[in-house]
Amino acid sequence: MLPLAGVKVVEFCQVLAGPYCGMLLADMGAEVIKVEPPEGDMMRQWPPINEGFSENFASINRNKRSVVLDLKNPAHKAAARRLILSADVVLENNRPGVMDRLGLGWESFRAEKPSLVYCSISAFGQSGPRSAEGGFDVTVQAMSGIMSVTGEEGGAPVKCGVPVSDTGTGLYAAFSIVSVLRRVAGGGPGVDFVDSSIVPSL
């Protein structure tokens, strides 16, 4: 039996850092339900496209089940809430404050579901002067200086071929989630707000 068999994760994520975290949890046996907007995860449009399907999307979202919910629709929002209450873990990578405005943030579940592990992934963390800003892997590669040591000597900065910032963040988020799940399994408190940012709060 895989180590996370029996763990249910509801994922509200797009593109890479969050979905990569969900993929790692799914690979370890967790049941991951990916909630997508009506237009779908934008990564569904990323090449290479094979027979109408994105190979990039398929590789990062393997072993998951998917459901379409419009979270601005009250009935769909109620369905999302039921899903969360049935889960062990919530994983989201919206900009800070979005899930709270939808009534699906950590604070709205901590009393009703005391064992829930809630993980938020963002570019700059949930607090701090840049927390409201979005960001992609290439943004962080540029800010961190990684691009300055990639490419030809004396040439312009070059993006790494692998999205190291997104995948690194997803990996640390998965490690944090598993750590808290272990504490929950031992009878400890589970309502933890796991804040995993691509760039530490500045």
Q: How many CA atoms lie within 13 A of 200 on its CB side?
A: 0
Active site residue 166: yes
Residue 9 is encoded by which pair of tokens? 């994760």
The rounded radius of gyration (Å) of the Cα atoms in the chain is 17
| Residue count of the chain | 202
Catalytic residue selected from 88, 166, 192, 195: 166
What are the catalytic residues?
A: 166
